[in-house]
Amino acid sequence: MKDFKKYSLNIRGHLVDIDKPMVMGIINATPDSFFSGSRVMDEFAIAQRAKTMAQQGADILDIGACSTRPGSEPVTCDEEIKRLDVAVKSIREAIGNDVILSVDTFRSNVAQHCVECLGVDIINDISGGDLDSDMPSVVAKLQVPYIVMHMRGTPATMQQFTNYDEDVAAVVIEELAHKIDSLHQMGINDVIADPGFGFSKTVEQNYRLMECLDAFHSLDVPLLVGVSRKSMIQKALGCTADEALNGTTVLNTIAMMKGAHIVRVHDVKEAVEARTLVYFNRN
């Protein structure tokens, strides 16, 4: 098992050490996310989901209000902000500041609103600034950690861009490295890399990324893995998203054994248990 490479994140002026994998719970304030079990729209349901995840040991909650499933079209910016206003305020009222909050958005004005008006701690951008060229400069100004994911095209078109001239892992690492270097030069100190499982990748390419996950540590930033209930599991096992929890736990376990710093999951309890077992005899 790979030695765990420790990092820290500056969360609103406080250093948070990543000395073992963090579990990021997914809260989708959307009616159309690919896994129906993750959808929560009203204030009570959002608050209850957040409370449950916090009690189960989530370190971070990642809130999305615009589905980015394959083939999806984005909601309007105003609708995304409206949903996030309800979700973030409900979560803060329910659990306070006990859990780090991340917002999953590719729009710079949404990111700015969430940090400045709602007190969100991290911005999680599936496009790494490709869908909104203002995002990097806005994040640099906000000085919050920035999750940069690898994707080509848009959620509606990304599966048309699965042709890679070389080994997919080598290409994704190279493209992320260029992006991370640029972000550092802009003054974004805390960058987190996400290989983008399921985004402009075939099933086989996704498993190649998992096989080569150790190599992503060459990026010298924390590594996030998000495979929860995705089609790479469904297609390999011949199951539905509802039936993909066991496969998710297996892949999260592999990712943690390969040194992943954050696992992004729909099912917090199972991920926390996997982490406990993987790190049971480690200091």
Cβ atoms of 59 and 94 closer than 8 Å: no
The question of whether 92 is a catalytic residue gets the answer no
End-to-end CA distance of the chain: 14
Burial 253-263 (b: 16+ CB within 10 A, else e): bbbbbbbbbbb
Q: Which residues, 6+ apart, have CB-to-CB distance to 137 below 8 Å?
A: 108, 186
The question of whether 230 is a catalytic residue gets the answer yes
Which residue among 264, 269, 275, 282 is the active-site one?
Answer: 264
Task: Copy the structure tokens of residue 171.
Answer: 């290409």
Query: 17 - beta bridge partners?
Result: 8
Which residue among 230, 235, 275, 282 is the active-site one?
Answer: 230
Task: Copy the structure tokens of residue 189.
Answer: 């100190």
Give the helix/strand (H/E) hosting 84.
Answer: helix 77-95
Rounded to an integer, what distance in angstroms lies between the CA atom of residue 200 and that of residue 171?
A: 12
- Where in the sequence numbering do the catalytic residues fall? 230, 264
